[in-house]
Structure 1
Amino acid sequence: MFHADVRVLSRAELLLDGRSVESVATSPLGPGATAFVGLARWLGDPGPDPTVRVTRERRLMPAGLDETITITSTAAEPVTTEVALALDADLAPIAPVKAGRAVDAAGVTRSGLTWSAGDLSVAVTASFGATVQDATLRWPVTVAPRTSVTVSWQLRVDDQAALVREPAGPVEWTRPTVTADDRRIERLAARSLDDLESLRLSLSAGATDTFLGAGVPWYLTLFGRDSLWAARMLLPLGTDIAEGTLRVLAAHQGTAVDPQTGEAPGKILHELRRADTQAALPAAYFGSVDSTLLWISLLHDAWRWGMAPEAVESLLPTLESALGWLAHHGDADGDGFLEYIDESGRGLANQGWKDSGDSIRFRTGELATAPIALVEVQGYAYEAALHGAALLDAFGRPGGPRWREYAQAMAARFRDKFWVDGPAGAYPALALDGDKRPVDALTSNIGHLLGTGLLTAKESAQVADLLASDAMAGGFGLRTMSTHDAAFSPLSYHCGSVWAHDTAIVIDRLARAGHPAAAATLASGLLAAAESFDYQLPELFGGDDRSTFGRPVPYPAACRPQAWAAAAGVTLLHAAVGLRPDVPAGTVALAPLQDAPLGAVAVRGLRVGAASVDVAVSADGSATVQGLPPSLRLALPRHAAAR
């Protein structure tokens, strides 16, 4: 168990009569709760059928964990056993744990079932009847025939230096009712919302704004890019989590130039950690080239979905500072493209969402050298400029024309410098390297350009065809790199694996750009992956072909649950129904996936402003919407209707 980037429980080993229980099943019990089922085959009646079952139910609590252990017997005679639970807490920072390094617990003191180091302490208590010996709880148990006996224990953490905490208020989004021909969509949505609820966080010291921690266990804190994308993907369920995320990141916006942390005026934070758990990066680290742009677009999109005008207006100074970063700091060499380089020598070598050190490669496998201008970042910049201009105009602020001109010039520069020819035709390169050479690997990054307006209709169609090809979509979703590229490896972090959020974002953008067949191809793979992972999509998984194993190969260190992977279930629903509001303009577009390639889907309880809205798409692709307030006018595409 981890609490605020510290491992507060490193051992909880259950033994009956000194023997391990045989694990046979796990099952989710809702947000932050899981059941584990095991068998004690040496106990109970002789014969092939097990008669003694052990069920462990764990539930996360604010600053703690509760577990019940239930021994159930169907044996003919009473069963007597000793239940023992060996415990330890090494209070290790998360960084060495993630790296697999040995941890020195010399600074940890233990007294009974209390462990402490500095201002951090962990205490375990147990149900009646337990004895304690050498940090092991012991219960003597006798179970009568066809009955159960339950024992329990609780862990609580006292950590005054914790950076994050569980929010005190209710969940910030609605929980829609989903019905679909493909029941996997229903199950994925339900499990995704449970996972998202368990990832809600607030900062300490009386903070009230809520955001989504990036993922369990390695990234359960504020991450600019991850928290922003997750909030953006949840906009169909309300704008409250977006508003909280925007405010939290605004409060930590950069104000000075600092090469050691990557900070610059107007820049949005990448990652916030407690200082005593960080071994490599600064506690407040700004090494992200896209978080600032994503902040701008989240503010714009939340405004379009109905975020209160006064809340939007209060964040306009942050918007103007963020646009200032785009104007003065994002393009260090003045070539018109946004690039990054780690000037400190101890930060992230790559600072887009594919931030592993070997992720940016040529088709030959050669690594690109910095400064690097990523393809999707130019699309984000184009989109952020137009989004910023729309907000400035709407609230009577100067600068709108300047940013529309910026976007127009970006589109021209991009078309001139980024497009390359490959075996399957022309496509945008992954990046420009430090010598301004196009890094010509075919990757999923180009899917993020769709629907932004940066591509023409013809260019969008070419990108869509490549993304739906076997080389990119032959696995369980969208591969991060084509199988035809030399660096492709199905279990590479960013050079061949499949990321759930990446796939979902591209599905939504394909839908928005009018490519339903390509969107359906990727959705089919993602739904098959969800089924294999019991509908709890991990951060990433292997990019093997679907015919190789018949199920996705897990990535060993993937976060699960992870915020934007869980939000992928919501994005898949949103792409299917296609509700796209512009509350300030008084309009709502209804553009479901053409021909309903995912079958009939109905979602009750979407949120547009303060209104609860229901959308149904039939198997023939016709759509209806109910619940729109009179202030909103529906734009009806083919086969759509309103009531």
Structure 2
Amino acid sequence: MTPSGRVLLVRDGTFAILGPDGSITGSRGTTPDGLFLRDARHLSRWELTVDGTVPTVLVPASDTAPSTSVLTPAGTRDAPPAYTVFREQSVGAGHFVDRVRLVNNGPTALTTHIELALDADFADQFELRADDRAYPKPDAEHETRLRADGVEFGYRRGHWHSRTTVAARPAPDTVTAGRLAWELTLPAHGEAELRLTAEAHPHGAQAVPLPAPSDEVALPGSADPDLLRACRQGLTDLDLLQVPADGIDGERLTVPAAGIPWFLTLFGRDSLLTSYFLLPYRPDTAENTLLALAATQGRSYDDFRGEQPGRIVHEVRHGELAHFRQVPYGRYYGSVDATPLFLVLLGAYADTTGDTSLALRLEQHARAAVDWMLTDGGLTRHGYLVYHPDPKGLVNQNWKDSAGAICFTDGTQAEGPIAVCEAQGYAYDALVRTARLARDVWHDADWAGRLEATAAALRERFHRDFWMSGQDFPALALDGEGRQVDVLASDAGHLLWSGILDQPHGERVAGRLLEPDFFSGWAIRTLASGQAPYHPLSYHRGSAWPHDNAVIALGLARYGCGAELRALTSGLTAAAVLHGYRLPEVLAGYGREEHATVVPYPHANSPQAWAAATPLALLTAQAAQA
């Protein structure tokens, strides 16, 4: 169920968002409804009427697969509805099936008039967002072709061509461009059924069924039962969020997409962290993610999409606007952290599995990623990984990528080149892990020594430049003039995970993050409350993110901060229980003392991959601390 109360169905890279009665109305904004595939809406209207009226919902549609709902025409206590409509809806690889069964409740036969209003606008997902942007399409054409069993909608723009076909069984009695109609006879206490199938045919590639979910993961039975249930729900959601991708040799892979509704595609940072959280339980996910990201690694310079040699992609899009370069996101590289995280995961995969064959296969990709960090990434010139705000893409290019997220205590956005603190931790960890691979797997001791020296120098600089003596806490970032961006932010907790802090500084960060202004009782907030920029319903300036807390939890375990880890795990587990064991992308920042239950963030993606994997990271952190 989406935060707006709509129903979400997803499988094989295809998803549908429906109303409680199973309808699609063509809405836009934070949670648009429709049938979606490859960043386009292939159904924008799907509204059923019976005898001229919209039936009443007795049992709303659900997120189960298939989704079922129960509807009736109007009735009263003395004149109950003559029939009941049972609806069963499901999605698969590029298709949507709606089974409508009408049951006569009375002893005499009756005839009903059924109509389905339908349309396909083929809107790109970037058009559906509520950001007031317009994308000209002077040569675009919509087509409609009537068929005996339904209708076909088409969309053309130059060589771009997408279609949606709708077929009905039995065939409609009447077919028009936007409406199918039937006269159905229901025998006494009998029934009739319609089976409606919409098939999406996107430009470029057809949807294909993806491999069955992985085998059952063995989880420790001694863990908190609620945490284990959240882990199982997370694994179920991750199975649904798989999308196809190509590897470095063209092999077909499945990888975790970031989330729904906006991010059902490969994302560098999201897929890497999700894979890291899953590594002890499903190492194949990490292998696939690394191969898919290596295949899209930057090879040349393209300022429009931020591509640079060796840089790991931020996101991959398949929609019309990306294809025609009206947005830079076809392959967008605007991320400061995906490249070091790629190296972190590669090293962690070898350490966890003992299998070095993947590291051997990706040696040249790893070397290119290190080269990017040292050159275009800024480590040599600036001493740190930096990014420059991108006016056509992302202003901020760390995980807090909304405009204004990297701010001073007065709320002013930092100006670039910006060095965010957590990216320096990732870079340190990437250098250390890659040095180990260089020495032990690639047998290049000289390069390993240079990487280790670079990592040690980075660690020393970081303590000197980022630690705020007055706050006894790391700065969120350094701006382009080297000034400390002094707002107190959760990003400091990522430094525990990467190990860039020495033990005393790490312990001080751990304790500070569990103080009431940071810790809501459910999770650690993105910004400590009480600061001018703090807002409990801001995306990155006061909300609380499960994945952010998962990274911090792993860091708390690394630094031996058991009490803090137990408090954080308890809060997140309680939040999961209150969300039906499915943690959403983000929670509102209101404290447990302010409201007895978790306040939802109104625009959260759910399910989202790294939130789904968060309970597994908590489980790993607990095991490491035991």
Same fold (TM over 0.5): yes
Shift of 1:190: 2.5
Return the alpha-carbon distance in structure 2 between the equivalents of residues 569 and 52 of structure 1: 45
Amino acid at match of 1:16: V
1:616 alignment counterpart: none
Q: Indicate if the aligned counterparts of 1:167 and 1:202 stay in contact, CA closer than 8 A.
A: no
Corresponding residue SS for 1:209: strand
Q: Indicate if the aligned counterparts of 1:43 and 1:79 stay in contact, CA closer than 8 A.
A: no
Amino acid at match of 1:116: G
- Say whether 1:242 aligns with 2:289: no
- Say whether 1:212 aligns with 2:260: no
Return the alpha-carbon distance in structure 2 between the equivalents of residues 308 and 148 of structure 1: 59
Amino acid at match of 1:284: R
**1:210-262 Cα distance to aligned partner (Å, 9 max, x none):** 21111122111121111111111111223212111111111221222333322
Corresponding residue SS for 1:461: helix
Return the alpha-carbon distance in structure 1 between the equivalents of residues 469 and 86 of structure 2: 58
- Say whether 1:415 aligns with 2:463: yes
Shift of 1:402: 1.0
Shift of 1:74: 7.0
1:136 alignment counterpart: 179
Q: Indicate if the aligned counterparts of 1:37 and 1:53 stay in contact, CA closer than 8 A.
A: no
| Higher mean C-alpha deviation, range 529-538 or range 217-226 | 529-538
Amino acid at match of 2:321: T
**Match of residue 117, structure 1, among 155, 162, 186:** 155
**Match of residue 87, structure 1, among 118, 124, 136:** 118
- Kindly tell me: are residues 240 and 141 of structure 1, through their superposed partners in 2, closer, same or farther at Cα, counting changes over 3 Å? same
- Say whether 1:285 aligns with 2:332: yes
1:321 alignment counterpart: 368
Q: Indicate if the aligned counterparts of 2:404 and 2:412 stay in contact, CA closer than 8 A.
A: no
Corresponding residue SS for 1:540: coil
Return the alpha-carbon distance in structure 2 between the equivalents of residues 54 and 20 of structure 1: 8
Corresponding residue SS for 1:99: coil
Shift of 1:571: 1.7
Corresponding residue SS for 2:320: helix
CA RMSD of aligned residues (A): 2.9
Corresponding residue SS for 1:546: coil
- Kindly tell me: are residues 362 and 518 of structure 1, through their superposed partners in 2, closer, same or farther at Cα, counting changes over 3 Å? same
Amino acid at match of 2:217: R
Map 1:496-575 → 2, pairs under 5 A: 496-575=542-621
Q: Indicate if the aligned counterparts of 1:5 and 1:277 stay in contact, CA closer than 8 A.
A: no
Corresponding residue SS for 1:541: coil
**Match of residue 426, structure 1, among 441, 465, 472:** 472
**Match of residue 9, structure 1, among 43, 46, 49:** 43
Shift of 1:50: 9.1
Amino acid at match of 1:169: P
Q: Indicate if the aligned counterparts of 2:507 and 2:561 stay in contact, CA closer than 8 A.
A: yes
Return the alpha-carbon distance in structure 2 between the equivalents of residues 228 and 211 of structure 1: 10
Shift of 1:511: 2.3
- Say whether 1:273 aligns with 2:317: yes
Shift of 1:71: 4.8
Return the alpha-carbon distance in structure 2 between the equivalents of residues 159 and 393 of structure 1: 47
Q: Indicate if the aligned counterparts of 2:478 and 2:484 stay in contact, CA closer than 8 A.
A: yes
- Kindly tell me: are residues 146 and 380 of structure 1, through their superposed partners in 2, closer, same or farther at Cα, counting changes over 3 Å? farther
TM-score by length of 2: 0.84
Map 1:602-613 → 2, pairs under 5 A: none
Shift of 1:446: 0.8
Return the alpha-carbon distance in structure 1 between the equivalents of residues 274 and 331 of structure 2: 20
**Match of residue 154, structure 1, among 164, 182, 197:** 197
1:636 alignment counterpart: none
**1:435-485 Cα distance to aligned partner (Å, 9 max, x none):** 111111111111111142211222222111121122111153221111121
Shift of 1:519: 2.0
Shift of 1:104: 8.8
**1:47-82 Cα distance to aligned partner (Å, 9 max, x none):** 9x9997655333221111222234567778878654
Amino acid at match of 1:136: R
Amino acid at match of 2:115: A
Shift of 1:21: 2.8
- Kindly tell me: are residues 168 and 38 of structure 1, through their superposed partners in 2, closer, same or farther at Cα, counting changes over 3 Å? closer
Amino acid at match of 2:54: R
Return the alpha-carbon distance in structure 2 between the equivalents of residues 548 and 145 of structure 1: 57
Q: Indicate if the aligned counterparts of 2:55 and 2:73 stay in contact, CA closer than 8 A.
A: no
Amino acid at match of 1:374: V
**Match of residue 176, structure 1, among 187, 210, 218:** 218
Amino acid at match of 1:196: L
2:499 alignment counterpart: 453
Q: Indicate if the aligned counterparts of 1:23 and 1:36 stay in contact, CA closer than 8 A.
A: no
Q: Indicate if the aligned counterparts of 1:180 and 1:186 stay in contact, CA closer than 8 A.
A: no
2:532 alignment counterpart: 486
Q: Identity across aligned pairs (percent)?
A: 34
**Match of residue 301, structure 1, among 325, 344, 348:** 348
- Say whether 1:19 aligns with 2:32: no
2:89 alignment counterpart: 58
Equivalent pairs, count: 572
Amino acid at match of 1:121: R
Return the alpha-carbon distance in structure 1 between the equivalents of residues 237 and 597 of structure 2: 22
| Higher mean C-alpha deviation, range 104-113 or range 563-572 | 104-113
Return the alpha-carbon distance in structure 2 between the equivalents of residues 146 and 575 of structure 1: 59
Shift of 1:161: 1.3
Shift of 1:540: 1.5
1:193 alignment counterpart: 235
Shift of 1:379: 0.5
Return the alpha-carbon distance in structure 1 between the equivalents of residues 208 and 536 of structure 2: 36
Q: Indicate if the aligned counterparts of 1:43 and 1:52 stay in contact, CA closer than 8 A.
A: no
Return the alpha-carbon distance in structure 2 between the equivalents of residues 147 and 327 of structure 1: 73
Shift of 1:175: 3.2
Q: Indicate if the aligned counterparts of 1:173 and 1:240 stay in contact, CA closer than 8 A.
A: no
**1:536-589 Cα distance to aligned partner (Å, 9 max, x none):** 32222311122334333333332222111111132223223x2xxxxxxxxxxx
Return the alpha-carbon distance in structure 1 between the equivalents of residues 563 and 387 of structure 2: 35
1:127 alignment counterpart: 169
**Match of residue 256, structure 1, among 300, 303, 314:** 300
Q: Which runs of 5+ in 2 are unaligned?
A: 1-34
**1:387-430 Cα distance to aligned partner (Å, 9 max, x none):** 100111111124111111112111111111111145xx511111
**1:56-112 Cα distance to aligned partner (Å, 9 max, x none):** 333221111222234567778878654433221101111111236589996211123
Q: Indicate if the aligned counterparts of 2:104 and 2:189 stay in contact, CA closer than 8 A.
A: yes
2:19 alignment counterpart: none
Q: Indicate if the aligned counterparts of 2:582 and 2:607 stay in contact, CA closer than 8 A.
A: yes
Return the alpha-carbon distance in structure 1 between the equivalents of residues 276 and 228 of structure 2: 21
Amino acid at match of 1:287: G
| Higher mean C-alpha deviation, range 129-138 or range 215-224 | 129-138
Return the alpha-carbon distance in structure 2 between the equivalents of residues 554 and 56 of structure 1: 29
Q: Indicate if the aligned counterparts of 1:97 and 1:103 stay in contact, CA closer than 8 A.
A: no
Q: Which runs of 5+ in 1 are unaligned?
A: 579-590, 595-643
2:275 alignment counterpart: 231
- Kindly tell me: are residues 468 and 45 of structure 1, through their superposed partners in 2, closer, same or farther at Cα, counting changes over 3 Å? same
Return the alpha-carbon distance in structure 2 between the equivalents of residues 83 and 575 of structure 1: 56
1:604 alignment counterpart: none
Amino acid at match of 1:438: Q
Return the alpha-carbon distance in structure 1 between the equivalents of residues 474 and 106 of structure 2: 67
Shift of 1:297: 0.6
Amino acid at match of 1:367: Q
Corresponding residue SS for 1:237: coil
Corresponding residue SS for 2:518: helix
Q: Indicate if the aligned counterparts of 2:92 and 2:209 stay in contact, CA closer than 8 A.
A: no
Return the alpha-carbon distance in structure 1 between the equivalents of residues 488 and 387 of structure 2: 21
Shift of 1:362: 1.2
2:387 alignment counterpart: 340
- Kindly tell me: are residues 397 and 194 of structure 1, through their superposed partners in 2, closer, same or farther at Cα, counting changes over 3 Å? same
| Higher mean C-alpha deviation, range 475-484 or range 94-103 | 94-103
Return the alpha-carbon distance in structure 1 between the equivalents of residues 438 and 414 of structure 2: 37
Return the alpha-carbon distance in structure 2 between the equivalents of residues 497 and 132 of structure 1: 51
Q: Indicate if the aligned counterparts of 2:468 and 2:475 stay in contact, CA closer than 8 A.
A: yes
- Kindly tell me: are residues 166 and 212 of structure 1, through their superposed partners in 2, closer, same or farther at Cα, counting changes over 3 Å? farther
